[in-house]
Amino acid sequence: MAQRRMFSLEVVDTDTFLDLPASSQNLYFHLGMRADDDGFVSSPKRITAMVNCSGDDLKLLIAKRFVIPFESGVCVIKDWRINNYIQKDRYHQTRYLDEKQHLLVEDSGSYLYMDTPCIQPVSKSDTQVRLGKDRIGKSNKADKPPRARFIPPSIEDVRSYCTERKNGIDPQTFVDFYSANGWKQGRGKPIVDWKAAVRTWERREGQKGGTSEYEDVV
């Protein structure tokens, strides 16, 4: 077990912690110093007696959710992962694997006790979080509504739209041109909005003075 432990001000500088009796705060530090690399304390009652704290101090830490107890008698520091960062080459997994399976790491880094053993071990939680974000990103992309399939317009559709815009475009020529090239734009990109192609066509015709050369249309 490591000889050094850390305590984050995010935990011990809160009103909830500072409102605890000095003896309870003292016990929290002693439990943290004697916890293994996953935050488990093998003999919390013995440590409580050894540092001249009372059983009520331990109960208060549990009631205020600074410590999570298990039926086996061991306990775990709830905010262990906020307090401590242990390099992989120095990390030694706890021997309390059954208890560990009941812990889930929240986004904040705190442990959350689950009645049902977690499928994903806590030791892999960092990987789980990263994968989770990746999957969320992919899921969001997959959740986007698919683009509507392009349906070529009929000659009457084009005639109606051209009449509405009073652009003088021959609908038969327009449809024949794009039907011949598979309804693709000048650079080979599939058309998704034929009305936009009509508007581009009429702009090009205006610029070219009504020329019939449409190879670069859209």
Contact yes or no for 31/75 (Cβ under 8 A): yes
Q: Which token pair is 211?
A: 């020329």
Determine the average pLDDT of the residues in 186-198: 84
Binned at pLDDT 50, 70 and 90, residue 192 comes out as confident
Q: Rounded to two decimals, what is the model's pTM?
A: 0.55
Mean pLDDT of the chain: 83
DSSP one-letter code for 104? E
pLDDT tens, position by position, 101-142: 999 999 889 999 988 776 655 554 453 434 344 444 554 555
pLDDT tens, position by position, 138-170: 545 555 555 567 788 899 999 999 999 998 899
How far is it, in rounded angstroms, from Cα 129 to Cα 210? 61
Angle at 16 between CA 10 and CA 20, to 5 degrees: 115
pLDDT tens, position by position, 20-44: 999 999 999 999 999 999 999 999 9
Give the Cβ contact number of residue 35 at 10 Å: 26
How far is it, in rounded angstroms, from Cα 81 to Cα 189? 52
Contact yes or no for 162/126 (Cβ under 8 A): no
Q: Which token pair is 171?
A: 């609908």
